Every structure is written in structure tokens, then in C-alpha cells.
Amino acid sequence: MTAVAVETEVGRTTRPTPARIPMSRIIGVELRKSFDTRSGFWLLASVGILAVLATAATILFAPDDAITYDSFGAAIGIPMAIILPMIAILSVTSEWSQRTGLTSFTLVPHRGRIIRAKLTVALGVGIVSMLLAFGIGALGNLLGAAIVGVDPVWDIVGGDFAGLILFQILNMLIGFMLGVLFRNSAGAIVGYFVYGFVLGTITSVLAATQEWFEKAQPWVDFNYAQGALTDASSMTGENWAQLAVTGLFWLVIPLAIGLWSVLRSEVK
């Protein structure tokens, strides 16, 4: 995608050819666009708010022996698994649902660049949110331990952090994939809940009742394979292989189809 300035015979006006819009600027604009509406702002703010609420709930309701960093991490992880993918979904679908794409895609006539910028912003927001969540969880752990009068238990170790972040990043990528596939906010959000929760329930019922499926599940069920990441330090090579195989079918291939259709579809 190189734009070479070709001298043409038509140039009546002798303006200099402007420089190509740099990728950093497109990323900056996309970042701004995720903050500058009330809904966008509160969606991002809710990352912090829900992390605090989940931490408070853990302190209030968890039994004393469960005041560990892992409990806080697990409690915060649940709202994150819903909010972060929403951020990823809406960053894509609002261009179609709010029809802002008419402006965005004419100011930058290469949809791939905008989509890459959106993905960069979404992943950046995801990682920052997770770090923030770990911080809030750590404060909760200190506070909770002080309240019940025990020594704080730090039972999330090195690789586990990366595993949990990767877990949420995959959720965001699923959201992003549904966004480019549906290009409609409501459709993609419903799709995410079906994908994450309805499908997960069906497969666990199936695994509980059908022996053949229980054996096959780790190799066909992405949710299940992804679940191993919540305890990343004990993941085996086989677990990683299962994650890769299921991820290919449930994430990479549909994402590729979605991106292909985004680049070719009509923006109205």
C-alpha cells in the first residue's frame, strides 16, 4: 500500500502532494473516538468501577480463608470478560451502526488501516485495563487481609498474570471478530453472549452426558481450551496445542472471513 505521487497532466492547481496519513495518527484518532462519547466513556470507566465493585464484593462475601489474590483475580475477571469484548465490538460496529464509517472511511480510504488501528487501540485498552484490574485486586487483597487479620496470600505467580491477560485478550479478539463479521452492534453483542455463555453451557451439558464428547471437548471447544489459561502455570504442551487448534477454527478463520468482508463490503 504505497501511494506514489505521480505527476499527472491534469493538475491545474499546483498544490504540493500531501504526505500520507501516518498510522500513529490513525491510532490516535481511534483512541480518541473510544473515549469521546458518553457511552464510550462510561464503558471504559466501568472497567475501573466494576473492578472496584468485584473487589468489594469479594471482601464482603468471601469466607476468610478465601481472602487470597486468586479470589480477587477471579472475581474481577468475570466483569472484564464482558466489558472488554464490548469495547472491542463497539469500536468496530459503531462505524456501521452509527454510520460514522461514511466519514472515517472517506478520510482514510484504506479500511485495513482503520481496522488495524482499532485493533491496536482495543488491545492496548485491554492490557491497560487488566493491569489496572490486577492493581485494584492487589489493593483489595491487602485491605481484605487486614480486615480479617491474616497475612495476605499472593497466589497468582509470574506466568499466571500473562495467562489471565491472554485469556481476556482472546475474549476481546472474539468480540472484534464478531464485530467485523456482523458489523452491527446489537447482533455482535448478542453473538458474543451466545458464543461465550450459551455455547459454553451446551458443551458442558453435552460433555456431562455424552462420553465421546467429553473426550473430544478439549480439541473442539474453544471456551474450554481457553479456560486452561486461567491457570496458565500448570498448562501442558497439549493444552497449548488444544488452544491453538480450537482457536484456529473458532477465532482465526472467522476473523479472516470478517476482515475480508469488511474490506469489500459497501459502506452506506
Partner 1 sequence: MIKVESLTKKYGGFTAVDDVSFTAQPGRVTGFLGPNGAGKSTTMRIMVGLTPASSGHAEIAGRRYADLPNPGLEVGVLLDASAQHAGRTGREILTIAAQTMGLPKGRVDAMLERVSLTPTEANRRVRNYSLGMRQRLGIATALLGDPAVLILDEPANGLDPAGIRWMRDLLRGYADQGGTVLLSSHLLHEIEVIADDLVVIGQGRIVAGGTKAELLAAAGTLVRTRDLPTLSRALVAADLHFVESTGALRVEADPDVVGEVALAAGVALTELRSADGAGLEEMFLELTAETQRDQKSEGVAA
Which is closer to partner 1, CB of 30 or CB of 221? 30
Using CA atoms, how far apart are residues 81 and 168, in angstroms rounded to an integer?
Answer: 6
14 is an interface residue for partner 1 by CB under 8 A: no
10 is an interface residue for partner 1 by CB under 8 A: yes
Q: Which of residues 46-105 bind partner 1 (CB under 8 A)?
A: 94, 98-103, 105
Q: Which stretch binds partner 1 (CB under 8 A): 34-42, 131-139, 161-169, 186-194?
A: 34-42
Residue reference for cell 504540493: 16
Q: Which stretch binds partner 1 (CB under 8 A): 3-11, 53-61, 69-77, 228-236?
A: 3-11
Q: Is residue 263 within 8 Å of 112, Cβ to Cβ?
A: yes
Alpha helical stretches, state H, 183-198: 185-193
268 is an interface residue for partner 1 by CB under 8 A: yes
Which is closer to partner 1, CB of 20 or CB of 215? 20
19 is an interface residue for partner 1 by CB under 8 A: yes
Q: Is residue 89 within 8 Å of 192, Cβ to Cβ?
A: yes
26 is an interface residue for partner 1 by CB under 8 A: yes
Which is closer to partner 1, CB of 103 or CB of 201? 103
Q: Is residue 95 within 8 Å of 177, Cβ to Cβ?
A: no
Residues 6+ apart with CB under 8 A from 85: 171, 172, 174, 175, 192, 196
Reading the block at residue 108, the C-alpha cell is 482514510
236 is an interface residue for partner 1 by CB under 8 A: no
Smallest distance, partner 1 to C-beta of residue 263, A: 10
Q: By rule CB under 8 A, what string of x and - marks binding of each residue 101-130 to partner 1?
A: xxx-xxxxxx--------------------
End-to-end Cα separation, the chain, in angstroms: 24
Among 25, 198, 201, 257, which residue sits at the site for partner 1 (rule: CB under 8 A)? 25
18 is an interface residue for partner 1 by CB under 8 A: yes
Which is closer to partner 1, CB of 184 or CB of 239? 184
3 is an interface residue for partner 1 by CB under 8 A: yes
Q: How many residues bind partner 1 (CB under 8 A)?
A: 43
Buried b (16+ CB within 10 A) or exposed e, 68-81: bbbbbbbbbbebbb
Which is closer to partner 1, CB of 96 or CB of 192? 96
Which is closer to partner 1, CB of 233 or CB of 261? 261
Rounded to 5 degrees, φ, ψ at 225 are -65, -35
Smallest distance, partner 1 to C-beta of residue 38, A: 5
Residues 6+ apart with CB under 8 A from 156: 69, 70, 73, 164
Per CB under 8 A, residues contacting partner 1 are: 3, 5-6, 8-13, 15, 17-21, 25-26, 28-29, 32-33, 36-40, 94, 98-103, 105-110, 264, 266-268
